[in-house]
Amino acid sequence: MSATEQRASVDRNLALELVRTTEYAALAAARWIGRGEKEAADQAAVDAMRLMLDTVRMDGIVVIGEGEKDEAPMLYNGEKIGDGSPPHVDIAVDPLEGTELCAKGLPGALATIALSEKGTMFNPGPIVYMEKMVVPPSMEHVLEGGFERPLKDTLRQIAYAKGTDIRDVMVMMLDRPRHDDAVREIREAGARIRFILHGDVAGALLAATENSPVDLLYGIGGTPEGVLSACAIKAMGGGMIGRLWPRDDEERTAALDQGYDLDEVLDKDRLCGGENQFFACTGVTDGDLLQGIRFFGGGARSHSLVMAYQSKQVRFVDTVHMFDRDRPPAVRL
């Protein structure tokens, strides 16, 4: 076996091991769909993902996790993950992206994880939010100078690149008061808006997919979600830029004291560097790209997406999980 073939084999094995962690987290969280207890749903996903990560062949450190060590007993920032064998990697996790979506039984909740080479994943430090733009691969050129010009000009460029009227352009954004000015500008330009309540990793994946209903993800969302999205977008193709967005003077001062450049435009390579990234996610509730967990007597079915940048592979994984070992195996459609 050649070195290239060996590398591809390792990539496939690690990618599929990561899918097992998101599947396990999604299965655990899915028991809490619609029960109105987002903290319980999140904790179930965290516990399940952490348990499975101990079995993964890697030597990883959590860069984007559930918080600092004194805030999160598991999957905290700086925690060492895996069985200690190579590869050495940075890890970003969100065991349940869209806790409120899960608690209310709304679409778009995911279990997610991303890996990159050690020392290559962007650490947002004290900054919780970032301004983001995400487009599919064919539109990546429109992001050049995207934060330096009015949003309406970017929308016009997207319409021109698509060969359509600006009224055909669809922007996805979180429904938040902080976006009121952007909403007004988009509407005055003539473009359309699709609001989401939570879950901008799922939104970024949709925006980065060619021929999806969404042409642009825009807005201010979480920096951890931005890093996760960048790892996925780098593996699947698409364009992304981000810029740190401090919420107040205290956060701004803390970032400047730690050496962050708040004017820097962060592209996908800055957010998730190196040449070897992995991303996996599993649907908890139904969404645009993935179906949610479906339980049946003695088992469940999950739908996942897994990507490996170096091997240039994107897989949709449909898994039937059979829980009851006393029953004869029965695959359900």
| DSSP string of 254-319, one letter each residue | HHHHTT--TT--EEHHHHB-SS-EEEEEEESS--SS----EEETTEEEEEEEEEETTTTEEEEEEE
Q: Give yes or no for a contact between 54 and 80, defined as CB atoms under 8 angstroms apart.
A: no
Predicted local distance difference test score (pLDDT) of residue 73 = 75
pLDDT for the residue numbered 114: 95
In the prediction, which pLDDT does 218 show?
A: 98
pLDDT at res. 322: 87
Cα of 6 vs its chain's centroid, Å? 28
Sign of the alpha-carbon torsion through 210, 203, 243, 131: positive
C-alpha 274: how far from chain center: 18
> What are phi and psi for residue 126, nearest 5 degrees?
-85, -5
- Domain 3-118+277-322: which topology? Fructose-1,6-Bisphosphatase; Chain A, domain 1 (3.30.540)
CATH number of 129-271: 3.40.190.90
Asked if residues 226 and 208 have their Cβ atoms less than 8 Å apart, the reply is no
Question: What is the predicted pLDDT for the residue at 324?
Answer: 76
3-state secondary structure of 165: coil
Tokens of 37: 């207890």
Give me the residues of the chain with pLDDT under 70, please. 1-12, 69-72, 327-333
| Sequence ranges of the domains in the chain | 3-118+277-322, 129-271
pLDDT number for residue 15: 86
Residue 8 has what pLDDT? 46
